Structure 1
């Protein structure tokens, strides 16, 4: 029962954080969730007060989120930038390990160098969950975006292997490069190729179910939800990289051919809806849990039992600056190399816009659940005192928070949002023209669609047409603030006209509803016979069916108008694709 209450508690916290996010616009949702988790941990005792199993954190949250992310990543862009991703996943991680390890050992000589490098290994693992949550709405360049996503998916292998080697060094005082290389190869290549095989087997299972007629949307979605957990556990039993196996299986499923029929489209739409909800819940829970762990992990440092709190805070700040500085220098060197190879010259990388993009990439490598799960396993490291363990965990927790804060404030300041990039004035004006054209076609077809027989319809022609036009008027109202003055004026004039028609329709409906109160009619007016209850229900049903007919016809006209606007260069192909996708979704919902 306590576990069930904890689940409800976490779900409630995620919902509350989503509401709070609307009132705290300067903060991103992950930071709101972390802050809420910390407040709840101080106010409400839960099972998480005594910590969380790091392995459970990986399989329950990281595995499904990595699996879903890898299925939708641009595999072509990953392959094109494979050497850059390898550089970030191996070279940059080792540079971070060396820089952070040496800096921490120099600042706190009591911390052994191997233990300091263990912290560096944990910090080398960029968290895909945190990166996706903090940067999904930011517009990086195509190359930078591919590098960032590839790094987040693959770089935890190098950091994990380095982290796992450090306790051995602490316990034995020796280091075997051959053993470390074997561990790295088994985790990376074993996990990658093992994941590809398991992804192929999963694809084959889905194909068999589909061909035998056993597949249906519900079964398909349930199998998709189950796959990352099965693959993770299978990889752990084979002693290969479990997280990499999950990522590789997702990539394999995205590359293998899929049938494109109406049934598979409906299944894909349902699966996407389920995964979107699950992603929101898991992302929220992992950040709330992270926030709930922070008070427990930072409490020894705050109380002074680990030394001067100001000193520890200074160590956290210095190490975070070193971490971000190494990332920036490495990324800048990669950009210079890419610019020279493309013939642009190294000087183009030092232009203000280019430097802003590189700096945003550096800050975007936030740390999160993987780093925390690794550091929590450090408590079993031999040769490290309890106070030393607590010091490292507290420093790591502080760095996690600081990297998240930097990403939250620096990345939006350095890069434009995808929404604002798409919401240009020309695009908004084009959407207003499209909406006005659809509304004009609806009105022109009023004598052919949406006819309703009955007392109300006898007074106002085509009420269903007015209802659908009112829906499009609401879209115009949303578009007007971002439009040019001329387009906004046309939109607002049409909104006012349609509102007048809708108010007339609403007034007639209210008059019909007052028959019972007036007992036969309104004083001073002719008193027609009041409709019976069955007549009113029948009329409501007819109106509903007519509204759907008009809406379906309007969507067909919208697709025709989009095609015409592409032909006369009013909108580009990318904008037309976005608009058509919106229409297709509405058509599916209408069906």
Structure 2
């Protein structure tokens, strides 16, 4: 099968997976269904796709990480920044050290630097897989935000540890000072590249639109290219392209609060990004399934590298490493929680004790995915001396099986673990939304009154505007006073008032949108609520403009 036909088959598998997951008698998470379809494609063609890790990182990761950074609730990200940083950096280092020694103890034939490399590449979690499983389990919103924030940042820390472990395996030396300095540059340079590229592109785009107008479709295409630009800029300066893509997305969410993008563009762009996200996420897991033939072929070589002849040893290693990672994650989560509670008790703050089931769920939710697969494929084929890289096939096989085991384990155990648990509502979110709706309604009423006066002064259908303004104001007054009643108008009268009402409605919608953006800029409401309300306004405006 030609390359183009394979790509089309993979896209068709992604479409089919969305329907299969609904009709299968057994409830399975979407990633597992996509992996199965990928394996079926590889079985039909007789071989898996030759995965180029560099191309994989460039094509798939920047847009997905950019979108995750853009859409993740910033209020939750900064509110729980301490917990997220502990998981994204502290837990990664703890996992690399703990799992590295565990792997070397289990498989003495695997050199310690290679064991650390395997531990490092299985340390990052996958937000796509977690999100898919979370849709079938009642994970609390706050915990989901923490898991999303962790997965955005631990990719960089895990890959940095992986890079230094591979360098130690290649050269036989390791410098903690050099590693620390490089890590600082990777993080700082990556964040700077993402922020800089996003601000530069959006400034240039606005300047061009202001002087030459806005071509149809151009803003969306530019928006799609920003993550690739940020990623490549960081990689060319030897910084972290992954963090660049994430920081570009976070920056884009703040740029959006300026409100300078047209409503129609926002609606179309959202649909395009939803399609891109669905396609790329799906293709990643289909690709993982298509690697299974090569992985199984490498398992035969792995037997010799492990020093055993019985294939069941490979199964034992895979499950031992998977449960070891789960235990290390639970130990870290439990310990850091105890330290946090102890500090709050010392300060006299009341802190609720989360149930044990929630701690276990946090540990199970650390699902591995695309980053692990792509990263482990970058292992060198040979050492500088020309000798084969030690235990390369074994490392790839174990990393791949850890991905599959973590997916299956989480999809089976997580819904059952959280079943029946009741979590308190997030009252702050509802209060913020109520505040935004009240402020927007008040601003809309003021805008309608201003627009009415402007139209009356212009003498255009002056007799229609007072009544049209009353109708529009009544709609917004209904938000402020739930008991307000809006009188129905007959069809003929409605048509006479439609033109005047349209002008006033558009003025009110623009005022609503400006108010919501202003509330979000000053952090009176979260960006998640801001996006929700602005989308509602955009859809209403699009309806009235057509």
Please give the TM-score of this superposition, normalised by the length of structure 1.
0.69
2:491 is aligned to 448
Q: Which has the higher contact order (CA 8 A, sep 6+)?
A: 2
Cα distance in 2 for partners of 1:408, 1:113 equals 32
Deviations 1:278-321 (A, max 9, x none): 10011111110011112211233268854322111111111111
Residues 578 and 275 from structure 1, CA distance in 2 versus in 1: closer, same or farther, beyond 3 angstroms? closer
CA-CA distance at 1:449 after TM superposition: 6.1
| 8 Å CA contact retained: 1:336, 1:346 | no
Cα distance in 2 for partners of 1:53, 1:311 equals 29
1:17 is aligned to 17
Cα distance in 2 for partners of 1:174, 1:328 equals 32
1:333 maps to 2:335: yes
Residues 88 and 5 from structure 1, CA distance in 2 versus in 1: closer, same or farther, beyond 3 angstroms? same
Residues 121 and 63 from structure 1, CA distance in 2 versus in 1: closer, same or farther, beyond 3 angstroms? same
Cα distance in 2 for partners of 1:138, 1:584 equals 32
| 8 Å CA contact retained: 1:216, 1:267 | no
| 8 Å CA contact retained: 2:301, 2:394 | no
Residues 304 and 370 from structure 1, CA distance in 2 versus in 1: closer, same or farther, beyond 3 angstroms? closer
1:287 is aligned to 285
CA-CA distance at 1:334 after TM superposition: 2.6
1:97 is aligned to 96
Residue of 255, 274, 277 corresponding to 2:275: 277
1:361 maps to 2:404: no
1:380 is aligned to 381
1:413 is aligned to 416
Residue of 534, 542, 545 corresponding to 1:588: 542
CA-CA distance at 1:217 after TM superposition: 5.0
- Partner SS, residue 377 of structure 2: helix
Cα distance in 2 for partners of 1:186, 1:87 equals 20
Residues 208 and 132 from structure 1, CA distance in 2 versus in 1: closer, same or farther, beyond 3 angstroms? farther
CA-CA distance at 1:15 after TM superposition: 1.2
Cα distance in 2 for partners of 1:413, 1:372 equals 28
1:315 is aligned to 317
Cα distance in 1 for partners of 2:351, 2:75 equals 28
Cα distance in 2 for partners of 1:42, 1:252 equals 43
Q: CA RMSD in A?
A: 3.8
Please give the TM-score of this superposition, normalised by the length of structure 2.
0.74
Deviations 1:342-373 (A, max 9, x none): 45989953x5xx22222222111211111111
CA-CA distance at 1:79 after TM superposition: 2.2
The 5 A counterparts of 1:424-443 are none
Residues 254 and 44 from structure 1, CA distance in 2 versus in 1: closer, same or farther, beyond 3 angstroms? same
CA-CA distance at 1:223 after TM superposition: 0.4
1:146 maps to 2:145: yes
2:198 is aligned to 199
Residues 58 and 585 from structure 1, CA distance in 2 versus in 1: closer, same or farther, beyond 3 angstroms? same
Cα distance in 1 for partners of 2:360, 2:293 equals 31
The 5 A counterparts of 1:51-450 are 51-135=50-134, 139-216=138-215, 218-256=217-255, 258-260=257-259, 264-301=262-299, 305-306=303-304, 307-343=309-345, 348-349=352-353, 354-380=355-381, 382=383, 385=388, 388-415=391-418, 448=491
- Partner SS, residue 360 of structure 2: helix
* Structure 1: runs of 5+ lacking an equivalent: 423-443, 452-544, 560-573
2:519 is aligned to none
Cα distance in 2 for partners of 1:173, 1:387 equals 12
Question: How many residues end up aligned between the 2 structures?
Answer: 454
| 8 Å CA contact retained: 1:96, 1:124 | yes
| 8 Å CA contact retained: 1:63, 1:232 | yes
1:31 maps to 2:32: yes
Deviations 1:72-103 (A, max 9, x none): 11223222322222211221111111121111
- Partner SS, residue 212 of structure 1: helix
- Partner SS, residue 380 of structure 1: coil
Deviations 1:381-417 (A, max 9, x none): 5287467111111111100101111222233333479
Cα distance in 1 for partners of 2:151, 2:58 equals 17
| 8 Å CA contact retained: 1:114, 1:169 | yes
Residues 446 and 223 from structure 1, CA distance in 2 versus in 1: closer, same or farther, beyond 3 angstroms? same
Residues 268 and 337 from structure 1, CA distance in 2 versus in 1: closer, same or farther, beyond 3 angstroms? farther
Cα distance in 2 for partners of 1:252, 1:301 equals 44
Cα distance in 1 for partners of 2:253, 2:381 equals 39
1:489 is aligned to none
Residues 23 and 142 from structure 1, CA distance in 2 versus in 1: closer, same or farther, beyond 3 angstroms? closer
- Partner SS, residue 396 of structure 1: helix
| 8 Å CA contact retained: 1:340, 1:346 | no
- Partner SS, residue 313 of structure 2: helix
Deviations 1:539-588 (A, max 9, x none): xxxxxx9xx99xx9xx99xx9xxxxxxxxxxxxxx99x979966863663
- Partner SS, residue 367 of structure 1: coil
Residues 218 and 416 from structure 1, CA distance in 2 versus in 1: closer, same or farther, beyond 3 angstroms? farther
| 8 Å CA contact retained: 1:339, 1:345 | no
Residues 407 and 217 from structure 1, CA distance in 2 versus in 1: closer, same or farther, beyond 3 angstroms? farther
Cα distance in 2 for partners of 1:319, 1:449 equals 73
Cα distance in 2 for partners of 1:280, 1:247 equals 18
